[in-house]
Structure 1
């Protein structure tokens, strides 16, 4: 009986180790022979490809993978928050800076994601490591469901129903996200949605002079005046030339004053000079 050759055994063991390293690499096992002088096309083909996160298709129901790429840390953080809302769990972000961001479950389960810039492209963020398994219970008081999030995700409902009550908002969030919110959060969400739909009053006030120029360009001969005290807006007078000409041409020579209170942030009153046309209907003049 021949004695085993130790050199042959060492060679076999060495080859076995090489095979194990190839399984753990990004390239996997390939049966093709690679030449020493490989072309750029072969390098591109052998380079691993990673999934890129898409806001339009992935943001409402995020599914993370190791190696997934993001446009920025902001996009990654938003995806983590939406993931927590969808899976009814509270996520924490720590550390959270310009070099790396780690997301993990609040209740201490193994789930975590470690995100940092890619070595080849510092503007692209990539999930470098993580554990995608949850071992915690659902958390029905989720701080990720904030007033800002509700306003943006239920914006069309607020548009269709401007008088949506707080009780209805609470019930909608409880049914869709399985999360309980307070009445204060519901009222804040409605206020934010109203501001998004109607615009910010302060920004609108800054554009009054642009509005005046637009009216004078489209309605020549109109009278538009402002009253300001030390640069602060006090009042505005508008009389469009077509309305003035229509009153003089076909309305009774009676002018009345109508008014209402403005239920806006600044309040005040809106006064209108009105007449009566040939059909006994109110005709606005100024």
Structure 2
């Protein structure tokens, strides 16, 4: 019997091994092929590859579906702990257009208490890119606890990293410090990139600024490569 079926597409095949992949998410392509053979089809290598990649979306949902659940997530955060901060911004030019997610800022009450009771008033800020299909940037603020371990304070998800988004970030970061003593001497550490230091200097003019040594070294190498090479050459001659 010929088990090659033109109507057995990768979308149809992705639905078949869902139950097995839910219990065994690390199943190999050979395992998926065996499960599909039980359905009476003989898939090609490309069909198995596509079905294996599409199956997780049937189990976990897509990124677009996850973004649609953000308002419900924010509601749960506020209901379970009224002191949590969760601010969502949407891009909606007019009422005739469906709102599009723009950015979100989140601070958990336990993070506030942990920072006040067990962390130094030295806060580092940075952003990193998401590698998923939707893109975006994760903005974070962290501190050091009594064990010199990184302690997360607040985080936000935005479309990009620039002065405007950092200014928006620090605007709500003020609300994070609202209940605290304003006399706490704050020290902010940053990489001075994409308007970060300009943004917090506007919102927190009394904070002391510090800069990441690794970024200073990297910027020095990029801008003064010839001077660095000459300096290293002289040091090698002295050593020889």
What's the TM-score once normalised by structure 2's chain length?
0.52
Counterpart contact for 2:74–2:86, Cα < 8 Å = yes
Describe how 1:172-187 pairs up with structure 2 within 5 A: 173-174=36-37, 176=38, 179-187=41-49
Equivalent residues, number = 148
Contact kept in structure 2, 1:262 and 1:269, CA below 8 Å: yes
Q: Which runs of 5+ in 1 are unaligned?
A: 1-137
Asked if the contact 1:167–1:183 (Cα under 8 Å) also holds between the matched residues in 2, the reply is no
Which structure has the larger Rg? 1
Counterpart secondary structure, 2:122:
coil
Taking the TM superposition and a 5 Å limit, the aligned residue runs for 1:265-280 are: 265-280=133-148
Aligned match of 1:152: 15
Residue equivalent to 1:201: 63
For 1:163 and 1:270, the matched residues in 2 are separated by 28
Deviations 1:194-234 (A, max 9, x none): 11221132232222222212111112122211232223211
Distance 1:157 1:285 in 2: 39
The structure carrying a bigger helix percent of its residues is 2
Q: Is the 8 A contact 1:224 1:238 kept in 2?
A: yes
1:164, CA displacement in angstroms?
A: 4.6
TM-score (norm 1): 0.45
Q: Give the C-alpha shift of residue 259 in structure 1.
A: 4.5
Aligned partner of 1:237 in structure 2 is 105
Q: CA deviation at 1:258?
A: 5.0
Shift of 1:266: 0.8
CA–CA separation in structure 1 for the residues paired with 2:122 and 2:23 = 40
Q: Which residue of 2 aligns with 1:139?
A: 2
Q: How far apart are 1:172 and its partner, in Å? A: 5.2
Pair 1:162–1:207, CA change in 2 (3 A): same
Deviations 1:12-62 (A, max 9, x none): xxxxxxxxxxxxxxxxxxxxxxxxxxxxxxxxxxxxxxxxxxxxxxxxxxx
Q: Which runs of 5+ in 2 are unaligned?
A: 93-98, 155-240
2:52 to 167, 175, 190: 190
Q: Taking CA–CA contacts closer than 8 Å with sequence separation of 6 or more, which of the two structures ends up with the larger relative contact order?
A: 2
Question: Which of 77, 83, 86 matches 1:224?
Answer: 86
SS at match of 1:220: coil
